[in-house]
Amino acid sequence: LILPQAVLDAPEHGCLNIHASLLPRWRGAAPIHRAIMAGDPETGICIMQMEAGLDTGPVLLRKATAIGAEETTAQLHDRLSEMGAALIVDALSRLAELTPEVQPEAGVTYAEKIDKGEAQINWTRPAAEVDRQIRGLSPFPGAWCEIEGQRVKLLASKLAEGQGAPGEVLDDNLTIACGSGAVQLLRLQRAGKSAQDPEVFLRGYPVSKGCRL
């Protein structure tokens, strides 16, 4: 919901928002997902003055943080939540002395809402893109593929060594070949089951080396 101008004008110092990106990059609904999926090396928190536009207001404070090589949206969300809580307290305590910084026109990107149609894995893509898709869509909606005819959510991964036909299982540790390179699956979830580490998953649902996902 975009707040009407009357509401935005009601407080003496206007309305402030905690936004989980380094504006003007990733304005919009899903900045954490999109930053990971795009392969951004860093993201952060902006405390911004709210305007009628979508995340267009001047920035009062910003703080950057590196995105971990194996970090999921859930993990990054929790870190940014803590950063945002600390930064808004800082902003409120120094509100009178902070100078709003107008967002530049250059570098504007929009973080569109995540569509469930983005979740199916295409193993012909490069490993880096598949890995970012898995981590960026974890935990919701959860990237997925079919393993032996059953849909399985993939909730964590990392880049791995190996080559093979796209979707080929390369070893007994769930290393999967992509269009180029490979990824190792670190967290999986079958329908009706809890999320599991690879060794637990494989005990209940064996996946043979050489099979194709």
pLDDT tens digits for the chain (213 residues)? 778 889 999 998 889 999 999 999 999 999 999 999 999 999 999 999 999 889 999 999 999 999 999 999 999 999 999 999 999 999 999 999 999 999 999 999 999 999 999 999 999 999 999 999 999 999 999 999 999 889 999 999 999 999 999 999 999 999 999 999 999 999 999 999 999 999 999 999 999 999 999
Domain encompassing residue 181: 117-204
Tokens of 53: 């536009």
Residue 126 lies in a domain: yes
> In this structure, are 88 and 138 located in the same domain?
no
pLDDT of residue 89: 98
CA angle at residue 188 from 77 to 29, to 5 degrees?
A: 30
The dihedral through the CA atoms of 37, 38, 40, 43 has a sign that is negative
pLDDT of residue 46: 98
CATH classification at residue 127? 3.10.25.10
The b-or-e profile of 63-96 (16+ CB within 10 A means b, else e) is eeeebeeebbbebbeebbeebbeebbeebeeeee
> In this structure, are 101 and 161 located in the same domain?
no
Question: Are 185 and 171 spatial neighbours (Cβ–Cβ below 8 Å)?
Answer: no
Cα→Cα distances 152→126, 201, 210, Å: 20, 11, 18
> In this structure, are 93 and 125 located in the same domain?
no
Pairing of strands 27-28, 42-49: unpaired
The b-or-e profile of 105-128 (16+ CB within 10 A means b, else e) is eeeebebeebeeeebebebebebe
pLDDT of residue 69: 97
> In this structure, are 100 and 121 located in the same domain?
no
> In this structure, are 99 and 124 located in the same domain?
no
Is residue 41 reached through a cis peptide bond, with omega within 30 degrees of 0 on the bond before it? no
Number of domains forming the structure of the chain: 2
Rg for the chain, CA atoms, rounded: 20
Q: Cα–Cα distance between 200 and 179 in angstroms, integer?
A: 27
The letter for the amino acid at 6 is A
pLDDT of residue 2: 78
CA angle at residue 159 from 187 to 209, to 5 degrees?
A: 65
pLDDT of residue 176: 98
Q: Can you spell out the DSSP letters for 14-79? A: --EEEESS-TTTTEES-HHHHHHHTT-SEEEEEEEE--SSSS-SPEEEEEEEEPPTT--HHHHHHH
